[in-house]
Amino acid sequence: MLEADGRGSPWCAACAAVDGSVELRVGEPRRGLLRRRDPDGEAWLRDHGFFAVLDAWALPVPAETSDAQCAATLEAALAGGHGVEPGTRLEHVLTHPGLLEGIDPPPPDAPLEQHLAAAFHGLVRAGDGRYTIGSGRPELLRAWVWVVDGELLVEREIPGVEASPGESWREPLTPDGADAAAAELARRERADRPGADREPWIFGYIV
């Protein structure tokens, strides 16, 4: 996540999915001292293919999109959606890694439970923190996975259920527990959406 120098709220980010595709994001356009919604900025983003998501606007792009194309798209979105001058310096704010250091990534076409297990093994090794688990184009939140009281706590969103999370369960904070959490979460996601393995999945570790 990068912020426009000295501006605070205009920000952009690139989120990489396990299949190599990318979702580009910018913050919600605001204007004035009261930071009211900016309909003109929203209209520009909508006209250029962005979708309104929670606290942001998102544009999914395929894996073959180059870094230069992604950068140019984000620069244009900051200019058109937020009025940021082209060439404005951007400052790094934060990074939510998809995998923790020392964890080998599965192949991009590996089954969902293998990607989840790799992330959860990182949680076991770290013994702290949480993962956001999302999928789709644009991404929708599917689950949170936390380290709580020496266990893995899985909190899963259920389509059509307003209460969040829709369901939860715990597994031991061990490699076997990580594998069990991954297998069960993948099973439940496939039960809701049989094509879940073909969706782009985005993981983000937060301390």
Quick one: 73 and 119 in the same domain? no
The CATH number of the domain holding residue 74 is: 3.30.70
How many alpha carbons fall within 13 Å on the CB side of residue 26? 31
Quick one: 122 and 83 in the same domain? no
156-184 mean pLDDT: 93
The whole-angstrom separation of Cα 62 and Cα 22 is 6
| Residue 8 pLDDT > 70 | no
pTM value is: 0.90
- Return the pLDDT at 161: 83
Quick one: 40 and 120 in the same domain? no
- Return the pLDDT at 80: 96
Q: Which of 31, 58, 92 is the last residue of a domain?
A: 92
| pLDDT, tens only, 64-102 | 999 999 999 999 999 999 999 988 999 999 999 999 999
| pLDDT, tens only, 108-142 | 999 999 999 999 999 999 999 999 999 999 999 99
Contact 135, 196 (CB under 8 A): yes
Q: Which of 92, 126, 142 is the last residue of a domain?
A: 92
| pLDDT, tens only, 10-61 | 999 999 999 999 999 999 998 766 667 889 999 999 999 999 998 999 999 9
Quick one: 116 and 198 in the same domain? yes
- Residue 105 inside a domain? The answer is no
- Residue 103 inside a domain? The answer is no
178-196 mean pLDDT: 97
- Return the pLDDT at 35: 67
Quick one: 121 and 57 in the same domain? no
- Return the pLDDT at 36: 79
Quick one: 12 and 86 in the same domain? yes
CA 138 to mean position of chain CA atoms: 10
- Residue 107 inside a domain? The answer is no
Sequence-distant (≥ 6) Cβ neighbours of residue 130 within 8 angstroms: 123, 144, 145, 146, 147, 205, 206
- Return the pLDDT at 33: 60
The whole-angstrom separation of Cα 155 and Cα 145 is 6
Query: Where in the sequence is the domain holding 163, given as residue range(s)?
Result: 112-206
- Return the pLDDT at 34: 60
Q: Which of 92, 127, 161 is the last residue of a domain?
A: 92
State how many domains the chain has.
2
- Residue 100 inside a domain? The answer is no
- Which of 7 and 3 is assigned the larger pLDDT? 3
